[in-house]
Amino acid sequence: METGIDSDLDSVFKLSGDGRFTVTPEVLDSYKKYGYIIIRGLLTAEESSLVEEGWNVDPYLQPRKYPQADDKGDLMELAVWDDASNDATGLVGRSENLAGAVEKLLGDEVYHYHSKFLCKPPQTGGSFIWHQDYGYWYHNSLHFPDDMCTAFIAVDDIRQDNGCLKIIPGSHKCGRIEHLKYDDQIQADLERVEYYKEKLGVQEVVLNKGDVLIFHSNILHRSDKNDSDRRRLVLAIAYNTKRNNPTKPHHHPQYKEMPKVTNDALLEWGKTKIWDSTKVFYDPRISKKHMDNIKERQVK
């Protein structure tokens, strides 16, 4: 059974009256129980628009966008980078409200593992198949999935018809599930997915622009094609803890201190809008090589 996310109010939270977000015992309990929390209105309309400019006008990002097709040939567009920058996207990820909350949820100092924009264009935006993020990250010599999470920030309103995320609440407790390469994605063992769907249910994550979903690296999730006439744009920020520093170098960074910034840093940046030229972008050719390596390990 699929339900809207607000049917489970234990997992949905808001900022306080002064614009701060506090990880209370209730927030932490919800994250541990369900494997995710939602923060409504993490970004204001003005702040969300500044983040959107990262996709629309950042001169360093524009040439690094690349397409990715799903199994039906429908295309998404992505841009992926490593460094927590000093522009709109980086300041969101380093803010006290977000980075501070993630540190409380994971229980250790965190650093920026990588960020990505995921854009599903109207009518043609492709789907993502059932997977765990740790299904990918396991192959990067990362050993503790409880120490990793993703902040999924809605840059557009996200509804069922434009490809909202679907998650299986509590599936983070099932451990890492076997994944197999499927075109340019990897897919969790569907027999197990069907069992967990029946046992735990599926929730559709309906988000408004500026909301954020923070979810455990082992939670099962997917999204459908964008069949609407509206774009679906997301900024996804992956975090790892200092204590879970990868034991071998790979295509994403090892631990590097990530200084947090105040919650008003994004609006301050908006007065100058100086884009950061130091971001290290991910080459899709490396992505293909990484996927091929995963397939080889599966064969062995």
What are the sequence ranges of the domains in the chain?
A: 12-299
pLDDT tops 70 at residue 157: yes
pLDDT recorded at residue 186: 80
Neighbouring residues of 15: CB distance < 8 A, sequence distance ≥ 6? 21, 39, 40, 41, 42, 97
pLDDT higher than 90, residue 152: yes
Query: Are the CB atoms for 22 and 14 separated by under 8 Å?
Result: no
pTM above the 0.95 mark?
A: no
- Position 288 scores a pLDDT of 56
Instruction: Find where tokens 């369900």 sit.
Output: 34
**Which range is least confidently modeled, 3-7, 168-172, 178-182?**
3-7
pLDDT tens for each residue of 132-142: 999 989 999 99
Instruction: Tell me the average pLDDT across 237-253.
Output: 95
CATH number at 12-299:
2.60.120.620
Q: What pLDDT was estimated at residue 292?
A: 55
Chain segment 18-71, per-residue pLDDT in tens = 999 999 999 999 999 999 999 999 999 999 999 999 999 999 999 999 998 887
CB 228 within 8 A of CB 122: yes
Q: Please report the pLDDT score of residue 32 as a whole number.
A: 97
Asked whether the predicted pLDDT for residue 300 surpasses 50, the reply is: no
pLDDT at 182: 64
Greatest C-alpha distance within the chain: 55
For 128, residues 6+ apart whose C-beta sits below 8 A from its C-beta are 70, 76, 185, 221, 222, 223
Whole-number percent of the chain with pLDDT over 90: 79
Checking if the pLDDT of 297 tops 60, the result is no
Q: Is the pLDDT of residue 254 over 50?
A: yes
Residue 174: band (very low, low, confident or very high) from pLDDT cuts 50, 70, 90 = very high
Give the long-range contacts of residues 258-264, CB within 8 A, separation 24 or more. Answer: 258/84, 258/94, 258/99, 258/110, 258/111, 258/112, 259/94, 260/94, 260/95, 260/96, 260/99, 260/100, 261/91, 261/94, 261/95, 261/96, 262/95, 262/96, 263/19, 263/20, 263/95, 263/96, 263/97
Unique residue bearing structure tokens 């899709």: 284
Q: Name, in order, each residue with C-beta under 8 angstroms of 71's C-beta and a sequence gap of 6 or more.
A: 127, 129, 182, 183
Report residue 181 CA to chain centroid gap: 20
Contact 117, 54 (CB under 8 A): yes
